[in-house]
Amino acid sequence: MSYVENAVIEVTDLSSGNKITLKEYKIDTTFGNQTFKFNIFTDQSDPNAMNFKGIQGHSYLLNITANGKSYSSVTAIPYANGLDSIWTEPVPGREDSFSVVKVMYNASDTFGNAVRIQTLNRKFRKDGSPEVFLTSFNPVYDDAIINDRAFRLPLIWATIIKTYNNEDFQTLVLFAVATPSR
C-alpha cells in the first residue's frame, strides 16, 4: 500500500460556499525497531478549518488533485429523522428492579444512509472534562437492514468499559427501576 504525497485536497460546502484546503503532514512513527512513514491530510492549525463542520441539509464537494490526476465526489448530509417514540418495558422475572428502554425509529427511504445511536450519561466528572456522547458496542444500523422502515430496538447504555464480563453483557440493556420512597 502506498500513500499519496503532495496532493491538493479541497472540501467545499456547496450550500454555503465555504471552502477549506487540507494540509499535508508527514509523520514518522516507530514500533519496535521498525519506522513507519505515512501522510495525513487535515487542517488542525487553521481556526476556520477547525470550525468547518458538516451541517444537515448541506451538500459537499471533495476535490483531490494528485500526480497530475483529478478526482471529485459530491455527498450530502440528510436531515436526521430523530426518534419517533421512547418507552420502557419491564424485564420479565425482574419487573421490580429492571426495565428495558426501547425506541422506535422511522428510517428514511434514501439509500446510502445509516443511523448511529449514542447516549449521554449525565454525571459529575471529577477531572472537569466535558460530558461526551458514547456509543455502545453496536451503534450503527445501515440501509441494508432499515431502509424506509420503522423499527423498534432496545436503547443500549453506552459505557467506557472496553471489556465485558458475562454479567455486564447480560445487563447492557437494563436500567434500574426507581423505587418510590415511603
HEC string of 52-99? CCCCCCCEEEEEEEECCEEEEEEEECCCCCCEEEEEEEECCCCCCCEE
**Could you report the per-residue pLDDT of 90-139, keeping only the tens digit for each?**
888 877 888 888 888 877 777 777 777 777 666 656 777 766 666 665 66
Instruction: Give the residue, 149 or 79, on which the prediction is more confident.
Output: 79
pTM: 0.56
Share of the chain above pLDDT 90, in %: 15
Q: Which of 1-15, 27-41, 69-83, 115-129 has the lowest mean pLDDT?
A: 115-129
- pLDDT score for 1: 44
- pLDDT score for 27: 82
DSSP secondary structure letters along 100-157: EEEEEEE--S-TT-EEEEEE------TT-PPP--EEEEEEEEEHHHHTT-EEEEE-PP
